[in-house]
Chain A
Amino acid sequence: MGLILLVVIWLITFVSTYFFIAKTWWLPVGASAAAAGIDHHFTVSFILMGAVFVAAQLALGFLVWKYRSGGTASTAEYSHGNAKLEVVWTVLTAVLFVGMNLMSSSIWASERFRAAEANAVHVEVTGMQFAWYFRYPGPDGKFGLTKPELEDASAGGEAALGLDTKDPASKDDVVSGVMVVPVNREVEVILRAHDVIHSFFVPAMRFKQDAVPGLAIHMHFTPIQTGEFEIACAELCGLGHYKMHGMLKVVSQEEFDKWLAAREAEKQ
C-alpha cells in the first residue's frame, strides 16, 4: 500500500507539474507595459512554489513508503520533535513567503500607488447590466454630468449613461460601445457602475478592476501592442454576467485621432 501511495502521489505531482512547465494552457501574450514584470513574477512564484510543491509531495510519498510497517523499521522512533529544526524551517518559510511578496510589491506600487500620467488618454468605463459603455471627454478634457433620471438604455450610448445634454461639458463627450485607445500611451480608466458591482477584465493587459456603484475608480495601464482584445466582466452581476463582454481596440495614435475626430463629427 505504501508503494502504491508513493506511485500515485508522485505520478499526480509529475503530471500536474508537467502542464505548468509546458504552459499548455496559459496566460495570453502580454500586451501592456506592466505585463512583462507581472509575468516575470508569475514565473518566479511558480518556480519557488513549484519547488515546494514537488518537494513536499515527493517527501510525503517517500515517507509513507519507506516507513511502512513491515518495512525496514521494527519499531517507530520515540521522539516528540526537534525544536531547532522547527525554528529553522519556520524562519526559512517566513523568509520565502514574505520575500516573494516584497518582490512583487514594487510592481504593485508602480501600478497602483501613483496616479495616471499627465498625458494619459482618459476613458470613462461604465458597466451596467449587461453591457460596457466607454466615454471620451473630448477636446475640453472634461466629462459632462450624468443624471440617473435621464438613463434610457434603449436610446443609445449617451442615453444609457444618462448624459445631461444641457451641461456644456457634455457637448463634446463621445460615447462608444467599443473601447478604442492609442498604443504606447497610458490609458486612465475611470470605472463606474450603474446598478451592481461589475469588473473590467482584459487578460492580455493583465488588467482587472471592479466597477463599484457609488464610486469612480481611477486606474491606468499602458497598451504596447495593437490589436483587438476582448473585455469580460469579472464580478457576478446577475443573469447576463456570462455575456457581458466588450472589445478593446488598440490602434496607432493617428488611427485613434481619426476615429475620435470622426465620432466628434457625427455629433454635430
Chain B
Amino acid sequence: MASFSTTATIIEPEISRDDHGTPPPIRDGGDYGRPGSPDYGTRLRRARLGLFVALIPVVMLFVSFTSAYVVRQGLPTLDPRTNNLTRDWIPVALPRLLLLNTFVLLVSSVSMELARRQIRARAMMETASAGTQIEIPWLGMTVILGLAFLFGQWMAWKQLAANGFYVSTTPSSSFIYLLTGAHGAHLLGGIVALFIAGVASLLHRSLKTRSIVVDVTAWYWHFMAVLWVYIFWLMKVAR
C-alpha cells in the first residue's frame, strides 16, 4: 500500500471571485490582463507552430487530389459497347507558359525571403521606419510577382481552352484545372495576407506584429512554391 508522510502543510489555493454568479466583465478580446504579454520570441514561435500545423491539411488536400489523379490514370472502365475494360486516359500537352510561371514563382520566393529578413531586422532594431535609407520594397515585389504568377496561370488556362481542353474535356484536363486552380486559390490567400501586412502600417499594428505576419506568410509562400514544383512535376511526368 502507499504511504505518505510530510511535514508540509497543503495550502489551499486562493480563490478570487468576480461578481458571484454573473458573467465576468470581459476586457479586450486579446488582453489576458496579467503583467507581461508573451514576448516576441514566444509569439513568433507560436505563430510558426500554427503555420506548420495549418500546412498539414493543405498537404492532405493535395495528397488526396494526387491519389485521385493516380487512381484515375490507371483506372479501367467498362465500355458497355465492347464489354471490355478499357483505359481512357489521354495526356494533355501542358502550355509552355507554365515553365515561365514556375520561374516567376521561384523568383518571388527569393524576394519573399528577402522581405522576411528585411522586416525582421527592422523589428529587432525596433525602428518603426526605414529612416533615411532607401530600402528595396521586397514585400511589394513579392506581391507583384505573386499576382504575375496568378495572371500567368490564368493565361495558361486560356491557352488550354484555345486548344480545346476545358475542365470537362478529358479526365487529364480536369485534373490540370483542378490542381492548378487549387494551388492558385491557396496562393491568392498568401497574397492577401502579404497585402494586409504591407498596408498594416495604416492599421497601426506594431512592427513586431507585422514582422510575425510576414514571417509566417513567408514560410507559407515557400511551401506554395515547393507545392507548385510538385504539382508541375506530377502533371508533366506522371502522365
Contacts and interface: CB of A to CB of B under 8 A. Distances in A.
Of the listed residues A78, A145, A148, A164, the one surrounded by the most CB atoms of chain B closer than 10 A to its CB is A145
B145 to A, nearest CB: 44
A45 interface: no
Nearest to B4: A78
Contact of A146 (B1, B2, B80): B80
B81 interface: yes
A200 interface: no
A78 B77 CA distance: 63
A145 B78 contact: no
A153 to B, nearest CB: 15
B42 interface: no
B81 A145 contact: yes
A143 interface: yes
A85 to B, nearest CB: 18
Interface string B73-98: 00001101111010000000000000
A78 B3 CA distance: 10
B83 A148 contact: no
Nearest to A212: B78
B82 A145 contact: yes
A164 B1 CA distance: 84
Interface size class of B (residues with CB under 8 A): under 10
Interface string B1-20: 11000000000000000000
A214 interface: yes
Nearest to A147: B81
A216 interface: yes
B2 A147 contact: no
Contacts of A215: 77-78
Interface in A95-150: 143, 145-148
Contacts, number: 24
A95 B76 CA distance: 40
A162 interface: yes
B77 A214 contact: yes
Contacts of B83: 143, 145-146, 216
Contacts of B81: 145-148, 164
Contact of A162 (B80, B82, B85): B80
A216 B78 contact: yes
Contacts of B77: 214-215
Contacts of A148: 80-81
Interface in B60-83: 77-78, 80-83
A147 B80 contact: yes
A143 B2 CA distance: 79
A14 to B, nearest CB: 37
A18 B199 CA distance: 73
A146 B78 CA distance: 11
Contacts of B78: 192, 214-216
Interface string B84-123: 0100000000000000000000000000000000000000
A215 B76 CA distance: 9
A32 to B, nearest CB: 27
A192 B77 CA distance: 12
Contact of A78 (B2, B80, B82, B85): B2
Nearest to B81: A147
A214 B85 CA distance: 9
Interface in A159-176: 162, 164
A216 B77 CA distance: 9
A215 B79 CA distance: 9
A148 B78 CA distance: 12
Nearest to A144: B83
Contacts of A78: 1-2
Contacts of B80: 145-148, 162
Contacts of A143: 83
Nearest to A143: B83
Nearest to A190: B83
Contacts of A146: 80-81, 83
A78 B80 CA distance: 70
Contacts of B85: 216
A202 to B, nearest CB: 24
In the A-B complex, list the 3 residue pairs whose CB atoms are closest, starting with the nearest.
Answer: A214-B77, A78-B2, A146-B80
12 contacts: A78-B1, A78-B2, A145-B80, A145-B82, A145-B83, A146-B81, A146-B83, A147-B80, A147-B81, A148-B81, A215-B78, A216-B83
Given A78-B2, A143-B83, A214-B77, 6 more contacts: A145-B83, A146-B83, A147-B81, A148-B80, A148-B81, A192-B78
